[in-house]
Amino acid sequence: MSKVELPPAVLDCLKNDMQIEMEHFFKKYDSFDDSFKVIANKLLVDMLRVSKKSSSFNKDVSLYEDGTHEQNEFMDAMFDCFKLFNELQSSKIDLLKRIYKHHSRSEGYWFPVVVISKPLASYLNEPTEFILYRGCYLDEYSNKDYRQSWTSDLDTAKRFAFIYGDYNKNNRVVIKAKVKSTDIAWIVGSITEHEVVLLPDFAPIEDAIELSYTQYCESKNQ
């Protein structure tokens, strides 16, 4: 068992200020050996310290480039998180949005996952029910353990299910769900992905598999 643990001040910041999903974070953190964790902990403590007082985060904190690809990727991701924390401490909503939508997540790099646990705006003027789609693994549908990111655009869900990423596409599906407006945490407003972020542990009114990979391939060949 590892003897090196994440410093409590860093854990508190990640969990409470940045609202990072800690199971996902620790799956990555605990994949490293103790010798690197010691290095990472020192860097993370320094990032936290500087982020709270520096108006020039980039000048006072250097990127870590002396490890393996995975180690460097991890530290680069955390550098970006603390840099945003430094810039956006006065607006927690903007901080959550920026970390949640960080470009590294869409480009296939490891990056912390943010849990948006409360609505970021009022959606009382929206329709009471929405039809949304999500491209995901079949297990997510079977277990009803849905992630937060959905889309109102079927073609976008198809891309995330069957085109983006190095997936076992035979186990991928597009889910169609009817959800209540009270389940919405954030309507992102992206004209390319039409993303809608739902609250954790939401329960759809209805959900079903809209498209399997076999059906998707058949539709492409028609």
Number of domains in the chain: 2
Cβ atoms of residues 129 and 152 within 8 Å: no
- Coil, strand or helix at 32: coil
Task: Evaluate whether residue 56 is within a structural domain.
Answer: yes
Q: Identify whether residues 25 and 96 lie together within a single domain.
A: yes
Q: Which of 41, 72, 106 is the last residue of a domain?
A: 106
Q: Identify whether residues 98 and 34 lie together within a single domain.
A: yes
Q: Identify whether residues 154 and 96 lie together within a single domain.
A: no
Residue with tokens 């959905």: 150
Q: Which of 106, 121, 154 is the last residue of a domain?
A: 106
pLDDT in tens, the chain (222 residues): 568 999 999 999 999 999 999 999 999 999 999 999 999 999 999 999 999 987 788 888 988 999 999 999 999 999 999 999 999 988 999 999 999 999 888 667 899 999 999 999 988 888 999 999 999 999 999 999 999 999 999 999 999 999 887 778 899 999 999 999 999 999 997 677 799 999 998 999 999 999 999 999 998 876
Task: Evaluate whether residue 206 is within a structural domain.
Answer: yes
* pTM, full prediction: 0.85
Residue 2: the pLDDT is: 61
The Cα-based distances of 210 to 40, 56, 60, 74, 102 in angstroms read 43, 49, 50, 35, 28
Task: Evaluate whether residue 1 is within a structural domain.
Answer: no
Q: Identify whether residues 140 and 74 lie together within a single domain.
A: no
Task: Evaluate whether residue 173 is within a structural domain.
Answer: yes
Q: Identify whether residues 78 and 135 lie together within a single domain.
A: no
Domain that holds residue 19: 8-106
Q: Identify whether residues 161 and 88 lie together within a single domain.
A: no
Strand partners, 137: 172
Q: Identify whether residues 138 and 212 lie together within a single domain.
A: yes
Q: Identify whether residues 101 and 135 lie together within a single domain.
A: no
Q: Which of 44, 73, 106 is the last residue of a domain?
A: 106
Q: Identify whether residues 139 and 72 lie together within a single domain.
A: no
Task: Evaluate whether residue 118 is within a structural domain.
Answer: no
| Tokens at 210, concatenated | 């809209």
Task: Evaluate whether residue 59 is within a structural domain.
Answer: yes
Task: Evaluate whether residue 209 is within a structural domain.
Answer: yes
Q: Identify whether residues 58 and 134 lie together within a single domain.
A: no
Task: Evaluate whether residue 115 is within a structural domain.
Answer: no
Buried b (16+ CB within 10 A) or exposed e, 195-216: bbbbbeebebeebeebbbbeeb
Residue 1: the pLDDT is: 53
Q: Identify whether residues 66 and 25 lie together within a single domain.
A: yes
Q: Identify whether residues 101 and 42 lie together within a single domain.
A: yes
